[in-house]
Structure 1
């Protein structure tokens, strides 16, 4: 079983999340909330999730006629420290940013800290969206709007699939791809 990766040669044993769709949903929520100058804080890790989430962000912007320079994308380690540094780097570019989509909730928490350190109000001045809906999303202030990553459901499905395989039972040939959902809390301000 492979969780959170898609490998074409063994696709029937892969359980993954539609990361592109998740980032698209997050960016679309910001667009529908009136934001046009939306930055992206990505992971600096060269992995499939990173590329898919950046693609989802860019596609949502393109689908709504929003053209932003590459300066609106900043990468960092997928941690709160990485998010804080990436947000600090975005701020130092003097861009007109009203919202930011982040790679995960920890990076969002770090971004919020960087904004607070610079006397920038979240969500009034800059809205922030995370990804994962981890426990931290409920404890940062303001409570984090995020994309839910259904990891428990994915793990349960993987366990059931592993049991089928261990018994020699037939499994479906199609890959199993979970769809993320948006969780609205308090870190997005409608303009």
Structure 2
């Protein structure tokens, strides 16, 4: 196996020049850099990551904390972060928090124990003050889909309240007034904000909010099925349903068909997130876009800027948009 000494000898440069090239220093003369890279290629030289870490006090690894692994939403998040960091020759270590305080805290300690340079987090249970302390006293963090006072520059978020507003406003514009809602768990911020947007749309349209038309789910497909059955059992008629994510919307659609309903003739349904299967279900799902892949990319670029000296543009707040497909239709009642 080739050594750094052989690379320097082949390139005709000093060891320090090879070291600066390996560490990505921008002060290296372009001609010398080309010689070093040519020598590395000819010798099939691979830098020793452990030695490089000791020399730079960095591991070139970034920890990712997500809430779950079993949904397209978090798959897109992880893919967006990993692909952005890989281009910069950084690597990721992934763990899961399950929206539980103790599990999230354990996950953070695990990532720190693996010498991650920074963390990119989709964390719901940890308190704002704990996240501020983590960023100030231990290592840099970026937060996805969450806004924390004191960490404004670290946060990459979606306007979830506007997303909830867009979903319900669409149904109101179609003539629906009796609109049911299956929310996410109220302990999660984005679920609260989406429900708040739903209520705002109703209020602006002069339609009273009826708590009998709301069911609290857990962002899982089964919650859409159970939620629809529960809402129907309350004998409070509704012609449309908003679900706070596409998984629950998919479950509600499946349940409605099992009950013999025609969609959207008997029930218009709107989801949230616009995950990959939203345009494969039947009828294709009207939903609210949640550009999680773009948000993930921005969180990675924020870490690259903060820790590794890059100069990427970082967008901190994303606007949702309504994606109209065939799961909704005008209501004459």
Task: Give the TM-score of the pair, scaled to structure 1.
Answer: 0.94
* Alignment correspondent of 1:29: 170
Question: Match for residue 56 of structure 1?
Answer: 197
Q: Say if 2:281 is the partner of 1:140.
A: yes
1:181 to 307, 318, 321: 321
Name the SS for the 1:85 alignment partner. helix
- Post-superposition Cα deviations, 1:141-180, rounded to whole Å, max 9, x if no partner, equal 11000000001111111121111101357999x9811000
Deviation readout 1:88-140 (Å, 9 max, x if unpaired): 10011111101011010010011111211222221101100000000121121
Task: For 1:1-191, list aligned pairs within 5 A.
Answer: 1-167=142-308, 176-191=316-331
* Pair 4,190 (structure 1): closer, same or farther in 2 beyond 3 Å: same
Q: Quick one: distance in 2 between partners of 1:95 and 1:110?
A: 20
What is the rounded CA distance, in whole Å, between the counterparts of 1:169 and 1:113 in structure 2?
47
Gaps of 5+ in 2: 1-141
CA contact (8 A) 2:298 2:315 kept: no
Answer with 1 or 2: which has the greater Rg: 2
Task: State the alpha-carbon separation in 1 of the partners of residues 277 and 187 from structure 2.
Answer: 24
Query: How far apart in 1 are the matches of 2:184 and 2:203?
Result: 21
Where relative contact order (Cα < 8 A, 6+ residues apart) is larger, the structure is 1
Q: Matches of 1:39 and 1:155 in 2, distance apart?
A: 31
C-alpha distance in 1 between matches for 2:270 and 2:321: 13
Deviation at 1:59, TM superposition (A): 0.3
Q: Is the 8 A contact 1:144 1:187 kept in 2?
A: yes
Per-residue deviation, 1:68: 3.2
Pick which of 111-120 and 94-103 moved more: 111-120
* Secondary structure, aligned partner of 2:206: coil
| Distance across 2 between alignment mates of 1:139 and 1:168 | 42
Distance 1:14 1:175, change over 3 A: farther
Q: CA RMSD in A?
A: 1.8
State how far apart, in whole Å, the 1-side matches of 2:146 and 2:291 are. Answer: 14
The aligned length equals 190
Alignment check: 8 A CA contact 2:241 2:267 kept: yes
TM superposition score normalised by structure 2: 0.55
